[in-house]
Structure 1
Amino acid sequence: MSRPPVLEGEPAQAGVVIAGVSLTPYRATQDRTLLAGLGLGLGVLVVAGVSALTAWVVRRALRPVAVMAQKASEWSEHDLSHRFDLGEPRDELTQLGQVFDALLARVSRAILAEQRLSAELAHELRTPLTVVRAESELATLDPHLPREQRARFERIIESADQVLTAATTGIRSDERTVTVAPSTGLELAVPQAVAVRALAPLIENALRFSRSAISVSAVECGDLVQIRVVDDGPGLGIDPSDLFSPGIRAANGPGPGVGLGLALARRLARAAGGDVDVRPGEPRTTFVLTLPSTRPVATRSR
């Protein structure tokens, strides 16, 4: 406490002075500060909420892009059947996915058409090149053949080997046992080249899928000759009704084949009056090439 005031010249206390200050301005400042803090905190909460909502909306809107990126990273360059498949267009991004799917379908059709053409050309080249090589080898066996002509035939053989190697890419070349059952008295009513061209894809297919053994045999069946090609591979791995469709190949098949050989073999056989079929019920994978015989049934029965 402060001392009571004493007037000058007065011996004793003359009175008491009480002084007061209004707190209203301080209370107003305090209220304004509190309101400002509350407003600032509320603003921070609003900004955080809006940021979180914006991030959620952006992630949801860009989810189709993330799905497309993940799917595309899992695709292989050897499989042309993949699509984004985002469903019916709901917005611009899903509509973009549908456009990409249509573009992929067109590109896939173009690549498959090119592969089929290349494979068919390879099939068509193999038989005449094999004949040219064989004739050249026979010519080199002549001991009286001049050296210059021998060198020419050897160059023909070397060039034929190079083209045949390129045309048979994808067929395994490891050692396997191939058994050919001899048959006598069987004559085909089709040119040899047609028979070879129809049979070659069946043997190539057996070479592609077999594990260790392949067998080839021929039997008479009425006025037809049946040539059976059997391999000990893993099986068809595909619906037999789809096996002869162009561009269809077994999912468990090795190599980069495009599924054209069997379709070509059936087309050639049917054009010659025969057919190519598969026997799915057999213990081993069995393909049967049927071609007309030169002798009718009545002639053979005498």
Structure 2
Amino acid sequence: MVKRLFPRSIRARLTTIATLVAAVVFTIASVMTLITVPGNLYGVVQTRVELAVRRVASELRAGEFHTVLETPSHVQVLQVVSARGNVIATSPGLDQIPSLMAFQASEPETIYTTELTLSRHQHEPETHYLVMAMKVHTSNGLATVYGAASLNDVDKALKWINILLFLGTPLILVSVAGITWAVVGLALRPVERIRAEMAEITGQDLSRRVPIPDTGDEITDLAATTNHTLDRLQRSVETQRRFVSDASHELRSPISALRAQLEVANAYPDETDWQATGKRALAAADRLTGIIDELLMLARLDAGAVAPRRVVDLVRVAKDQVRRREGAQVPIVLDSCGAAPVFGSPIQLDRLLTNLLDNATRHAATRVDLEVEVEGDRVVVMVTDDGDGIRPKDRERVFERFTRLENARAKDKGGSGLGLPLSRDIATAHGGTLTVADHEPGARFVAVLPLHREP
């Protein structure tokens, strides 16, 4: 099993990442500080001493000799020593410093640098100095110019820098980890409340909703989206329950009728017209088969199953529909263009026209008009009857499953309330629409599907 590099908890992961990033940043900053700051501090002191030494050397070359040397600030020692080791010029009040003279400059006109521990006076404690020496040609021969400046301030600064880097960095990292842990925990508190509420929601009670924080951030969007999802889920479950209930009711009616007919026939076999009973039983079985077929197709569409598809000419499908219905009580008048190719399932598209024409013929008074036209990049199919029509407020209800209007229930005993919903689902699955348009008299159903063009 592969070990995880980071903790499983988001809070712990973010804390770890923030601490590691801070550690990398502070490590780089510490290394850069240790590389650049000591050199810069020493460079400042060295520059001061070098300027003072070169100034004295320049005066000696020019013959401007002074036994008491003017010493600039931050430079504590200036002395000129002859080739014999005698101090011929020095800073005010400064004793001879033997340890200073032990540092010799080898080549003339070249500055040599070292660090020494010196005491400027006999009773003064020794101090860390930066010392520079330079041999100069004078009118009296070679002389060595010495300059020294205390490094106490530099040593103190470096000491504090080391303390801050090696002790302060761990404290800062601990602070970063603690602050990140607290801030992430505070930010994730609404998520925990959402999780706790989601854990309490069950399939038996989908009315509960997660709390929406008023922070206006991504967690607010997450909570709002979760509630929208729960709304859709609740509606879907309620629709499913109603669907199961209505399906049970629709299936029970023909089964009950069939059972009653068979029971009567079985109870009075000598008085039963078995041919008529068989016809009625076959009609009930046909109705059951139609309901079951529509339920199965609806279930497949709901599950997102895609049936085999190819290019289908809706004009040819419409002509086949009209041919199969020749001699029916309500004639169907076809008005079509030359061809209307659509890419889709032949079975489903044929079922769409079947349902629309069955619905129209059940409600028509004298005729049904079927029109198939190509308009731009779409195919428009219109099925119009001259019946009672559909009120505007009911034009969306008719596409709900098992919905049958009152006038339809009175005139149509064979409908299941699944044909129109199935037709709309088929149109939607093919990237189209199915609506009820204004028309007088009767009702007009308009199916719009994308036109297929050969590449």
Calculate the TM-score normalised by the size of structure 1: 0.42
Q: Which has the higher contact order (CA 8 A, sep 6+)?
A: 1
Calculate the TM-score normalised by the size of structure 2: 0.29
